[in-house]
Amino acid sequence: MAGTFSGGMKRRLSVAISMIGAPLCCYLDEPSTGLDPASRRTLWSCIKKAKKTRAIFLTTHSMEEAEGLCDRLGIFVDGALRCIGNPKELTARFGGFYILTVTGEHGTENRVSELVHSLATDVRITYSISGTQKFEIASSQVTLAKVFKAMTDNKARLGIRDWGIANTTLEEAFIKISRGAIGT
């Protein structure tokens, strides 16, 4: 009968079967791959509940899934464990930067870039297309207040239409780790 189920239903069934008998340890390989967002959230709720009474080892390529479900995680690159810690520790340890996204009027990119580079010495442009630029700024070199002041004070003068700032995500830290940009 299970052979007639959809891929998502088979995946949910395999997770349910792994929980039968309340094992002390459960291994889940990509448990939410192929599920729609609502089914994924429901499955994650079940896994969160189950992890209160058993150890769950989870493999995933989804940093959203890892961040939402894992108390501790290890990142493997080419079959070798590169780092281990909780999601916040890894993000702080391997991130350490803010992501500033600025969209300005056409032709203002150089002036916007000069402004951002004046805020800190460790600034990297990671994206620039059609008036939108994305910068990585070392969080150890700048305060959020300083960035907010610079953006609001120069918004009209530089033709900045929109801007936003965020902390490093686990996905961004993972990309840096997997590219070998950071030694562990």
One domain, residues 163 and 113: yes
One domain, residues 47 and 109: no
For position 8, what pLDDT does the model report? Answer: 79
pLDDT tens, residue by residue, 148-160: 999 999 999 999 9
Whether residue 114 lies inside any domain: the answer is: yes
pLDDT band at 165 (very low <50, low <70, confident <90, very high): very high
What is the tally of structural domains in the chain? Answer: 2
pLDDT tens, residue by residue, 55-65: 999 999 999 99
pLDDT band at 182 (very low <50, low <70, confident <90, very high): low
One domain, residues 61 and 7: yes
Q: Which domain holds residue 39?
A: 2-71
Whether residue 61 lies inside any domain: the answer is: yes
Whether residue 174 lies inside any domain: the answer is: no
For position 176, what pLDDT does the model report? Answer: 85
One domain, residues 47 and 102: no
Assess whether pLDDT exceeds 90 at residue 85: yes
Whether residue 139 lies inside any domain: the answer is: yes
Whether residue 76 lies inside any domain: the answer is: no
One domain, residues 47 and 105: no
Whether residue 136 lies inside any domain: the answer is: yes
One domain, residues 105 and 155: yes
pLDDT tens, residue by residue, 101-154: 999 998 899 999 999 999 999 999 999 999 999 999 999 999 999 999 999 999
pTM of this structure: 0.69
pLDDT band at 184 (very low <50, low <70, confident <90, very high): very low
User: What Cα–Cα distance (Å) separates residue 57 from each residue in 14, 27, 70, 91?
Assistant: 15, 5, 9, 20
One domain, residues 114 and 67: no
Whether residue 54 lies inside any domain: the answer is: yes
In the structure encoding, which two tokens stand for residue 74, read together? 């290890």
One domain, residues 119 and 159: yes
DSSP output for the chain: -GGGS-HHHHHHHHHHHHHTT--SEEEEESTTTT--HHHHHHHHHHHHHHTTTSEEEEE-S-HHHHHHH-SSEEEEETTEEEEEE-HHHHHHHHT-EEEEEEEE-TT-HHHHHHHHHHH-S-EEEEEEETTEEEEEEETTT--HHHHHHHHHHHHHHHTEEEEEEEEPPHHHHHHHHHTT-S--
One domain, residues 113 and 66: no
One domain, residues 55 and 102: no
Whether residue 78 lies inside any domain: the answer is: no
For position 60, what pLDDT does the model report? Answer: 93
For position 47, what pLDDT does the model report? Answer: 95
